[in-house]
């Protein structure tokens, strides 16, 4: 199920007790997890094994961090 802005409560800046990073980190992690799950699902549907898909995703992440 897609996550929408209404699914998460974002505290206004004048009421926050967390940093922006702390407030957004759970949402970012959920989005990252959902994206990875969709990538694996698409790869498996195309005939790859889940292991191959996860390995390819890990390699892409390493390339992204290296650049």
Span 6-61, pLDDT tens digits = 567 777 777 767 788 888 999 999 999 999 999 999 999 999 999 999 999 999 98
pLDDT value of residue 6:
58
Instruction: Tell me, yes or no, if the pTM score tops 0.75.
Output: no
Taking alpha carbons only, the member of 39, 30, 29, 31 closest to residue 60 is: 39
pLDDT value of residue 14:
76
pLDDT value of residue 3:
55
User: Whole-angstrom Cα distance, residue 16 to residue 34?
Assistant: 27
* pLDDT at residue 62 is higher than 80: yes
- H or E segment and range at residue 41: helix 20-45
């Amino acid at each position: 199920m897609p996550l929408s802005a209404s699914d998460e409560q974002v505290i206004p800046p004048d009421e926050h007790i967390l940093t922006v990073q702390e407030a957004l980190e759970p949402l970012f992690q959920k989005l990252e997890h959902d994206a990875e799950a969709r990538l694996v699902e698409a790869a498996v549907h195309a005939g790859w094994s889940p292991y191959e898909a996860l390995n390819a995703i890990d390699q892409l992440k390493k390339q992204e961090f290296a650049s």
